[in-house]
Amino acid sequence: MKLNYTLKTVRIACTVSDSPSAPVTDGPGAAAILRAIYADLDAGQEHLVMLARDAGGRITGFKVIASGGSTSSIVDPKLVFRAALFLGADAIILAHNHPSGTTTPSAEDVLVTRRLTLAGEALGIRVLDHIILGDGKTYYSFSQDRKL
């Protein structure tokens, strides 16, 4: 019996105003890239996005992992890290938006961040930050708040 396999690919695309070859080293740099991505997404629902970063700190691509309702989305670690592996990520930055406009992390946000950080450690892919985007230019960074 002959088996045929079809491999799915990950779409890699990102348009930002700054040079994509510049290393992303902090929350403001990641937030600027994420704002460009979220500009094309429905603001009335939550979306989880993963930015893949190479060893030099450059963003190599992104993936919208999940889109949910107005207050939550389902986060499957397998989907996050499958995309990270396809993109050759050395590290990742996670982000999601709060349609309410507030950036305070929920208990579920904290739990998901911990779960994904542990999963990444097992695979050798660091979770550098988890950013929550709110209204305008406001955001919350787990890394800047030393909760990562």
pLDDT digits (tens, 9 = 90+) for 27-37: 778 888 999 99
What are the domain boundaries of the chain?
A: 27-141
Q: Does domain 27-141 have CATH number 3.40.140.10?
A: yes
Burial class (CB in 10 A: 0-12, 13-18, 19+), 48: buried
Whole-model pTM: value is 0.83
pLDDT digits (tens, 9 = 90+) for 63-106: 999 988 656 667 899 999 999 999 999 999 999 999 999 999 99
